[in-house]
A and B are shown apart, each in its own frame.
Chain A
Amino acid sequence: MKREEELKIIERILNGETALYNQLVNLHAPRILSVVRGVVSGREDAEEVAQDVFVKAYFSLKSFRGECSFSTWLFRIAFNMSVSKARQRRTEHMPVENSASIPDTSSESREESMDRENRFRMLYKAIDELEPSDRFLILSFYNHEKSIKEICDICGMTESNVKVRLHRIKKKLGVMLGDKMEVCYG
């Protein structure tokens, strides 16, 4: 859906055609669910947070001025809600690796494939040990292909801050991955 069409739908919702909100929900639910599931542990909790994101967005629709895309605006709400929920439940966090599937490795030899599989498992563990806000940041950047500018809008940080933070997370993950490989392979 084009941005103009989305803005028109929002305008119609604000004018009383509230049933149209379902269209926006159906359009954005997969990405919001995906990003929230990456931050909040437990499928049910993540789905609850994703629902609350859409409820909050509905009641704040008046404040959406179209300066950024509706998707980025939703991501901002999802960022605030999922990070605070994840911080609340940090002690009970279910590891990401439990729900993650290893990407297809059919073209590689068995050894290569096992090595790759191990690397992914360790990477998932390392990602799981990150701060919820850092997880959200790298998920938005690598999985949802949000630009640096969009991440600035989502997290309320400056461009240089986002770049520095992404670089630090990458470095941290590299170190964590190295440590885990060392423990695993000696």
Chain B
Amino acid sequence: MDEMDKLLKDAFSGMDDSSVPFGFAEKIGKKIDAAAVKKADREELVRNILLAVLFAILFMTALFFLNKYFFNIDSVRISGIFSEMPDFGGKMKTLFGSGDSVLWIVIGMNVALLLLAERILARKLSARDKNRSDI
């Protein structure tokens, strides 16, 4: 150990400030709790986005197969679709006008309404919880 090493050691011993401020650990605890909530929110958002993407893919795949095998649409020549499709109106009538279709449309609308009601309720409940925790 040379003179510079000794000098540096002495200098740093004078600089050493290892005092812990009051409430340091509590502040860390609060930060951890806040970060955990934020992390959970972020994970939920990512999960929702992934679900939306998955459903979009499923929906698009379903549409693709419907187009290909029911409407006989050539997906490469998608422009001019309505003029080339034989009896478009008739096919739509068969698709949406039959008893089974109406049943499924009603079920779909009910599910959509239920989802909408669930989202509204969840928002209201979380807003109320937030207000309570602020108080």
Contacts and interface: CB of A to CB of B under 8 A. Distances in A.
Interface stretch (A66-74, A79-87, A97-105, A147-155): A97-105
Nearest to B31: A55
B11 A103 contact: yes
A143 B29 CA distance: 28
Interface stretch (B13-21, B76-84, B113-121): B13-21
B24 interface: yes
Interface residues of B, number: 26
B28 A55 contact: yes
B8 interface: yes
Contact of B19 (A30, A96, A119): A30
Interface in A1-39: 21-22, 25-26, 29-31, 33-34, 37-38
A143 B13 CA distance: 6
Contacts, number: 86
B30 to A, nearest CB: 9
Interface stretch (A107-115, A120-128, A157-165): A120-128
Given A170-B4, A173-B4, A29 B24 contact: yes
A52 interface: yes
B32 interface: yes
Contact of B16 (A34, A52, A59, A127): A34
A113 B5 CA distance: 19
Q: How big is chain A's contact interface, by range?
A: 35 or more
Given A30-B20, A34-B18, A51-B24, A142 B31 contact: no
Contact of A103 (B13, B17, B18, B28): B13
A75 interface: no
User: Which of B5, B15, B18 has the largest count of A CB atoms less than 10 A from its CB?
Assistant: B15
A156 interface: no
Given A119-B7, A142-B12, A143-B12, 4 more contacts: A58-B28, A123-B7, A123-B11, A170-B5
Closest 9 CB pairs of A and B: A30-B18, A143-B12, A34-B18, A100-B15, A103-B14, A25-B25, A54-B28, A142-B8, A55-B31
Interface of A: 21-22, 25-26, 29-31, 33-34, 37-38, 47, 50-52, 54-55, 58-59, 96, 99-103, 119-120, 123-124, 127, 138-139, 142-143, 170, 173-174
19 contacts: A25-B28, A26-B25, A29-B24, A34-B18, A52-B31, A54-B28, A55-B32, A100-B15, A102-B14, A103-B13, A120-B10, A123-B11, A124-B15, A138-B8, A139-B12, A142-B5, A142-B12, A143-B13, A143-B15
